[in-house]
Structure 1
Amino acid sequence: MFWFLMAAMVAVVAAVALAVLGSGDGSGGPVTGGLPEAEPDRAHDPLPVDRPLTAADVVAVRLPLAARGYRMAETDDVLDRLAAELAERDARIAALEAELGRVPGPPPLPGPPPPAGPAV
């Protein structure tokens, strides 16, 4: 009786293993060609591309985590330092422009250089 139960248990385990492994995706269903593609994890608050970065942009960035992700404390320290230096830079630029009496305007748009004049 012992050998019959042992053989029955081995047969059941083998049948279940073959059914799961034979499905292709491990779900036990029909073969679908493997696992579905995982959607990549992206930052929820991407940095703006239509204007210069500000300290508030850096403070608002939240990087996604992964199984082999980044060291959160160190990365947050770097981002905090970068935000502080951006804020300090912006304040210094505003102070220098105020000393010169300039009113800051929009940044120049990138484009082709102006055409050169005729050679004389």
Structure 2
Amino acid sequence: MDGSRRDQVIRECLAKPGSAEDYPFGDEVAVFKVAGRIFALVPLGPPPGSISLKCDPDLAADLRARHAAITPGYHLNKRHWNTVALDGSVPDEELLELIEHSYELVVARLTGAQRRELMT
């Protein structure tokens, strides 16, 4: 990833169709939503930072077992969310796949009309 990892994950989140950046919890956390539903949270504190992502529960447990940098979601449903430290220990490709996975999980729960709107 070029630039800071946090800047890159923010760009990646914003590149998703229909993605919107919001600050419902104050200026310290960038929240990324699609059709009003959260798929990523990025605290804006000191580096290296982290990103919290929605995740299939079985995959979430597997990821936590494989990576010390992946922990249960901070202040989130620990079964369905992981927090990934942006310390470089999770390979860039895998991190980008996890962002995509989170986005796809949220999109899958949208109505058909909402999904079609994302395609336009």
**TM-score, normalised by the number of residues in structure 1:** 0.25
Which structure carries more relative contact order (alpha carbon 8 Å, separation 6+)?
Answer: 2
Structure with higher helix content: 1
**What is the TM-score of this pair, normalised by structure 2?**
0.25
User: Between Structure 1 and Structure 2, which shows a larger proportion of strand residues?
Assistant: 2
Structure 1 or 2, whichever has the larger Rg, is 1
